[in-house]
Structure 1
Amino acid sequence: MEILRTENLTKTYGIGETKVTALDNLNLRISKGQFVAIIGSSGSGKSTLLHMLGGVDNPTKGKIYIDDIDISSMNETELAIFRRRKVGIIYQFYNLIPTLNVEKNILLPMLLDGKKPKKEEFDKIIKMLGLNERLSHLPNQLSGGQQQRVAIARALIYRPSIILADEPTGNLDRANTEAILEMLRVSNKEYNQTMILITHDEKIALSADRVITIEDGRIVSDEVIKK
């Protein structure tokens, strides 16, 4: 079952001689429950693609469908609500709110909607991520690995259909990198969530089921990983 597709997705910046094409008529289809890694060198367009899929930025041309809904035609308010409920985003630099404790940072997407998670769901996520003893801590009282776990918990709390992870282990050592990747794999299997992982590290990409390589805003290879 297809959960995401793009049609001739194009993103350009600047005009005239300064015009840069970050995405060039890119067509992509991803099935529900797939764990996909998107790799490419700096400037290849992979992060731009993730921002488009997450509704953080708008395409210059083309369409993006998530669950057969055209998010590229939504206004900013509609996008914000859709993103909060349907798409979880994990950034390299965590993007936690420094004045909120761990518990409130995790619950932020639901608090913005005036909702409360089921206690058993919340407890399950924080137990899986090893955050039980850190709920009252502020972000600056945590290690980098712990902050990334909080960011993952925040992305999971709404049980979104898709998790977009932008270099989520870029600032972590090897041990924390392995732990974070394992948590993403567990969430992928347990909740049947579609994972789209942006990385420049081919070793990390091989933890996915499918590896897509982007160069100059175009897909140059698309491989299923046999395990």
Structure 2
Amino acid sequence: MTLKVENITYYYSNPEDYLFKDVNESFEKGKVYSILGQSGSGKTTFLSILAGLDKPKAGTLSFDGQAIKSSNLTSYRKKTVSTVFQAYNLLTYMSAYDNVKTAVKISAVKFDDEKATIVEALAKVGLSEDLIYKPVSKLSGGQQQRVAIARALVLNHDIIIADEPTGNLDEETTNQIVDLFKKIAHEDNKIVIIVTHESEVAAASDIVFTLKHRKFEREN
């Protein structure tokens, strides 16, 4: 299964003042991709298109050979792609467990043993049982990011998209989070796409795209 963009173009109002134009790339399962670029370069907008949160001005997004159109955009977001945000977007008054449980309820995904599945997802990202029932506000930044990743993982979507997931973390925690994403891609056979401005994060990825001068360059 492959996520593909074909001739993707995006601009705000003036077609001549585009963020990027005619982008053709593919993303395969089992790999970590980083999109590297300075603030304002358009990398987060590109990520929003991949996540189905925004639509390109021209071009096609497709997954597993099926074009993602307005008519199936909601289904794509609900069944195929999960997004991890830099600000975590957690309900801080809730526990880690309840944050993940809320995501499960919203998605309407059914599990034979919901509690065991949620606990397993949180354990997978390195959160012990004594932490998962604490209010999120009592957890460190790295622990909160792990909750956000568990929330994305529990739905078992094929694509995990992360927007600056290490932007608020120290170097040691950053390395741990990057290793976690690599494990998700390589062992769980997911497509993991990370937008970052940190070259160290990009260097740990399998494939790196750099967005500069309104063009994508594939580095490896």
Structure-1-length-normalised TM-score: 0.87
Q: Please name the residue that 1:204 is paired with.
A: 201
Matched residues in 1 for 2:164 and 2:137: separation? Answer: 21
* Residues 122 and 157, structure 1, Cα contact 8 Å, conserved in 2: yes
Q: Please name the residue that 1:91 is paired with.
A: 85
Q: Please name the residue that 2:6 is paired with.
A: 7
Q: Please name the residue that 2:50 is paired with.
A: 53
Name which of structure 1's ranges 124-133 and 159-168 shifts more when overlaid on structure 2. Answer: 124-133
The correspondence of residues 163-202 of structure 1 with structure 2, limited to 5 A, is 163-202=160-199
* Residues 31 and 182, structure 2, Cα contact 8 Å, conserved in 1: no
* Residues 34 and 209, structure 1, Cα contact 8 Å, conserved in 2: yes
Q: CA deviation at 1:213?
A: 1.0
* Residues 107 and 157, structure 1, Cα contact 8 Å, conserved in 2: no
Structure-2-length-normalised TM-score: 0.90
* Amino acid aligned to 1:79: L
Cα distance change of structure 1 residues 113 and 197 upon mapping to structure 2, 3 Å threshold: closer
* Residues 30 and 187, structure 2, Cα contact 8 Å, conserved in 1: no
What's the C-alpha RMSD, in Å, of the aligned pairs?
2.0
* Amino acid aligned to 1:23: F
Structure 2: state its 5+ residue gaps. Answer: none
SS at match of 1:26: strand
* Residues 10 and 26, structure 1, Cα contact 8 Å, conserved in 2: yes
Matched residues in 2 for 1:107 and 1:87: separation? Answer: 18
Say whether 1:112 aligns with 2:109. Answer: no
The correspondence of residues 152-167 of structure 1 with structure 2, limited to 5 A, is 152-167=149-164
Q: Please name the residue that 2:125 is paired with.
A: 129
Structure 1: state its 5+ residue gaps. Answer: none
Name which of structure 1's ranges 127-136 and 61-70 shifts more when overlaid on structure 2. Answer: 127-136
* Amino acid aligned to 1:222: R
* Amino acid aligned to 1:202: S
SS at match of 1:48: helix
Counting aligned pairs with the same residue, the percent is 34
SS at match of 1:9: strand
Q: Please name the residue that 2:38 is paired with.
A: 41
Say whether 1:222 aligns with 2:218. Answer: yes
* Residues 25 and 218, structure 1, Cα contact 8 Å, conserved in 2: no
Q: Tell me the number of residue pairs that the alignment of Structure 1 and Structure 2 aligns.
A: 217
